[in-house]
Amino acid sequence: MNPDQYTVVIDGKPKGPYSLVELADLSIRPNTFIRKPGMDDYKEAHAIVELRELLGFSYQKTAPQYFAAFDLRLLASVIDHFLIFVVYCIIILVSFIAIESKDQRMMAFLVPFPLIFLIKLIYGSFAESSKRQATIGKRLVNIKVTDLEGSRVSFGRSLARNFSKIISVIPAFFGYFYSFLNKKNQCWHDIAAETLVIKERLI
């Protein structure tokens, strides 16, 4: 498919494809939803660089409106912990080559076990402040971490957010369940770090 062909939502229905030149003849507004090959979802016209240049739009920064529910966030976390645990087990099993005693093998497996949570903290902080704004688990369920305006967060803020999860865990995980009471589905650590976990709008 030609990468310069665009699908435009007109009167609530996708129409096209149109070339970039043909778009200039349509009544495209800054908030018109448009999609082209390679895009995961539709975006508003003002959010697409070549359309801003063609139609003279300016980028309009808007707050996110589509927030990730608790079930998606939980699934993403389970996936991340599972992947890290698998890598951890592989490393431990390889180390067993040099360990013959059964007791020593058991200690080699259990003693470093808390490192899983430390690795998750560091990995999550880097991944959620990266260009993709998400860990592997979050990417698989199509959600990402942003600031309150939907922009990418710095590593420092991402680290603060992940470290603050302790305040969501300590009171019997109530800090996580609080997301059911929050209009933006924020947990306590999201509120502390002034972040959101959002999903893309699907049309």
Burial of 174 (C-beta count, 10 Å sphere; 0-12/13-18/19+): middle
Question: How many of the other CB atoms lie within 10 Å of CB of 167?
Answer: 15
d(CA 8, CA 43): 10
Rounded to a whole number of angstroms, the CA Rg of the chain reads: 22
Summary count for the chain: helices (H), strands (E) = 10, 6
Contact between 189 and 171 under an 8 Å Cβ cutoff? The reply is no
- The pLDDT of residue 39 is 81
Q: Which residues of the chain have pLDDT under 50?
A: 1, 203
pLDDT of amino acid 166: 93
pLDDT digits (tens, 9 = 90+) for 150-182: 889 999 999 999 999 999 999 999 999 999 999
Q: Which pLDDT does position 203 carry in this prediction?
A: 44
In tens, the pLDDT along 98-118 reads: 777 777 777 766 767 778 888
Using the CB atoms, write b or e for 6-28: b if 16+ within 10 Å.
bbbbeeeeeebbbeeeebeebeb
Its pTM stands at 0.67
Per-residue confidence (pLDDT) for residue 111, from 0 to 100: 66
Give the up-direction half-sphere exposure of residue 40: CA atoms within 13 A in the CB hemisphere. Answer: 10
Q: Tell me if 99 sits within 8 A of 42, measured CB to CB.
A: no
Cβ atoms 198, 149 nearer than 8 A: no
